[in-house]
Structure 1
């Protein structure tokens, strides 16, 4: 179940107290710790994402307008909560290997889906709800057990928030246990950029 109190505590615990008053997007300092820093050059696109773009070219075109951050109003926060809960509760998690007999296949969930399918559906619905596409970015991360994972990041004036099918709460990126590897470019969802995540991550030991 989602916990707005936990979210608020995470925000207050960061230097985001400087944003107590809503500021214009141009005034937001995205070099703040609440935002993941990225490389200026593009990097390799995940195989599944590349195939998704080939079959859904209209969803991988450059954004006509690049909005740096979306103001996290109460209405926007409630949209994040509702859409995150909708898919986390209605989609049954199944690996691509079990569902499609391939190692990686990005698509919209059909009642079943892998992590990237949750992220695609959440991104689509938030865009349809009025969020700028450039503020909704699918990211590839590494779990503490070393396995790869995909999440949706919402870039807001309060930081990069993570919508995750493995965790019902919505957290600022650096309040998650993941190592952030790369994400979609804000300018073009068909291109990806490396993320700089220098936080020490404790990798879970494998049981013998």
Structure 2
């Protein structure tokens, strides 16, 4: 039996696939990035546990082409991980804050993003085009999403949103993301679309 949540995800997938034509014809929007900045504490500790995850080097070149196939894979992976993983805070899972890890049955926002990144890389997307990203929610809380850097702009895979959206269509203020050339480094994001809000937990 397909549950109400399942029906909603199927509808969201159909809507996202139907929007492919609009996406392909829309103006490209790339997230403006700045200088190197601090690595989130949780990602630093993740790198200490799994150093190979943070030693990926990607040549500086054009981003991956956003084909119809890649668009469908982005939608499928976003919804698949969102469906499989049950949301829990790091405190509930680990008894402490800011533990970044691949999720099992449960996960926090950054765990969803890590898993989506891994699955897209398994599909052949370069490490430099799937970028962990720290944002601020409208209520001031910190949050982590995955940015997919494509030929048609930057798109966001989010555990709080079933649709794959252009970064400019989301409600967040963007703070920093992984470097396109070095998965262990982070760069600032120059997001002037929203006012500064209170500092939250993801840092």
TM-score, scaled relative to structure 2: 0.85
How do 1:123-138 and structure 2 match up within 5 A? 123-138=117-132
- Relative distance call for 1:202 and 1:140 in structure 2 (3 A) is closer
Could you tell me how far 1:200 is from its partner in structure 2?
A: 2.8
Mean Cα deviation higher: 100-109 or 56-65:
56-65
What is the match of residue 98 of structure 1? 92
What is the match of residue 137 of structure 2? 143
- For each residue in 1:82-130, what CA deviation from the matched residue of structure 2 results, as whole angstroms up to 9, or x when unmatched? 1111100010000001110111100000110000000000000110110
SS state at 1:124 partner: helix
Query: 2:62 matched to 1:68?
Result: yes
What is the match of residue 161 of structure 2? 167
Could you tell me how far 1:136 is from its partner in structure 2?
A: 0.4
Query: 2:27 matched to 1:15?
Result: yes
SS state at 1:69 partner: coil
SS state at 1:123 partner: helix
Please identify runs of 4+ aligned residues in structure 1 that moved more than 3 A. Answer: 5-12, 64-68
Query: 2:38 matched to 1:44?
Result: yes
- Relative distance call for 1:177 and 1:202 in structure 2 (3 A) is farther
Separation of aligned partners in 2, 1:6 and 1:73: 13
Mean Cα deviation higher: 194-203 or 171-180:
194-203
SS state at 1:160 partner: strand
Cα RMSD (Å): 1.9
Separation of aligned partners in 2, 1:51 and 1:178: 25
Could you tell me how far 1:58 is from its partner in structure 2?
A: 0.4
Structure 1: unaligned runs, 5 residues or longer? 17-33, 204-208
Q: How many residues align?
A: 185
Q: Is the 8 A contact 2:55 2:183 kept in 1?
A: yes
Could you tell me how far 1:78 is from its partner in structure 2?
A: 1.1
Separation of aligned partners in 2, 1:76 and 1:152: 15
Q: Is the 8 A contact 1:109 1:121 kept in 2?
A: yes
Structure 2: unaligned runs, 5 residues or longer? 1-8, 198-203
Q: Is the 8 A contact 2:149 2:155 kept in 1?
A: yes
What is the match of residue 109 of structure 1? 103
